[in-house]
Amino acid sequence: MNSEQPEEPGAPQPSAERGAPIGRRVLLGTIGLGALGVVAAPPLQRALESFLGAAADKDPTGLTGLLPNGGGFRYYSVASSVPHKNASNYRLTVDGLVDHPKTYTLDDLRALPQTRMVKDVQCVTGWRVPDTPFEGVRLSRLLDAAGVHGKAGAVRFTCFDGTYTESLTLDQARRSDVLVALRMQDKDIGHAHGGPVRLYVAPMYFYKSAKWLSGITVTEDVRPGYWEKLGYDVDAWVGRSNGRDDEPTT
Ligand SMILES: Nc1nc2c(c(=O)[nH]1)N[C@H]1C(S)=C(S)[C@@H](COP(=O)(O)O)O[C@H]1N2
Ligand SMILES: [Mo]
């Protein structure tokens, strides 16, 4: 990976650094192309929290959007500010190589059968949150409702932050453990965690789980997403991608 490229808060590290505690990689800075990146060690996080105040949702700078939510989560956003959406203005569009393009409201999504899963969240940078419940509509259900064309091979996800993108192959997208998630930790997903609706790709590193989901487009081929253009693996299986050949222990 080119060292001049902007890094995710903890982009995949060369193997020599893989086991290093996050705390050794303290870094706060603005990275290229308007993207904002932070790797915050706990002391720095605490300092930032007291400086900015705890109310992430009220912070116009977007900085607190990068702070942890307790419970081991860190907030990530590559966009410096993200509009807030709720039941009155949230929309999710399903389009591309489908027979029946459709736009869903939040209530439309809530009215569909919900699936709840409890699994570990694993960021590629090493932090992990065990046994995290997610709940929402299976992506496969939305794809079936749309009527996917025979020549389609992939799905592309876009976000109302205006910047982040993700992708899955159609086979991956149809897995039963891939959700259009409305709830996380048994609460409606808040703004900082990508609410009201985020993608949840349980078997892959958390960068696949696009926050602030606004578009699902069925395409012929996989188009690498935001971090994937910067070197992350498109097939992001936990423990079997991004240079990891074992299940991380941290
Ligand atoms: N729209 C958007 N989705 C995103 C990201 C982002 O920056 N923007 N970061 C990804 C990464 S790298 C991780 S680890 C998780 C973090 O989710 P959290 O902020 O809810 O902890 O969101 C993923 N989805
Ligand atoms: Mo991540």
Mutate to test the pocket of ligand 1, among 38, 206, 214, 226 (most ligand atoms within 8 A of CB): 206
Domain boundary among 55, 83, 111: 83
Domain-ending residue, one of 43, 59, 83: 83
Q: Residues 191, 197: contact at Cβ < 8 Å? A: no
pLDDT top residue among 206 and 12? 206
Of the residues 32, 49, 83, the one at which a domain ends = 83
How many A from CA of 125 to the centre of ligand 2?
A: 6
Q: Which of 6-15, 53-62, 63-72 has the highest mean pLDDT?
A: 63-72
Same-domain check for residues 159 and 142: yes
| 97 and 78 fall within a common domain | no
94 strand-pairing partners: 102, 216
What is the Cα–Cα distance from 63 to 36, expressed in whole angstroms? 9
Domain match, 8 and 98 both: no
Domain-located, residue 105: yes
Q: Are residues 54 and 120 in the same domain?
A: no
Q: How far is the CA of 211 from the centre of ligand 1 (A)?
A: 6
Q: Is 68 helix (H, G, I), strand (E, B) or coil?
A: strand
122 Cβ inside 6 Å of ligand 1: no
Same domain, yes or no, for 98 and 71? no
Residue 74 sits in the same domain as residue 105 = no
pLDDT digits (tens, 9 = 90+) for 113-141: 999 999 999 999 989 999 999 999 999 99
Q: 131 with 151, same domain?
A: yes
Task: For residue range 153-186, list pLDDT tens digits in order.
Answer: 999 999 999 999 999 999 999 999 999 999 999 9
Helix, strand, coil shares, percent, the chain, to 5: 20, 30, 50
Q: Is the pLDDT score of 244 beyond 60?
A: yes
Q: What is the total count of domains within the chain?
A: 2
Q: Is there a single domain that holds both residue 42 and residue 125?
A: no
Backbone angles phi, psi at 149, to 5 degrees: -65, 150
Whether 103 and 38 map to the same domain: the answer is: no
Q: Same domain for 103 and 179?
A: yes
Torsion angle, alpha carbons of 177, 182, 185, 187, to 10: -160
The answer for residues whose C-beta is within 8 angstroms of residue 96's C-beta and 6 or more apart is 152, 155, 156, 216, 217, 218, 219
Side chain identity at residue 203, one-letter code: P
How far, in whole angstroms, is CA 189 from its chain's centroid? 12
Structural domain boundaries, residue 10: 1-83
pLDDT band of 74, cuts 50, 70, 90: confident
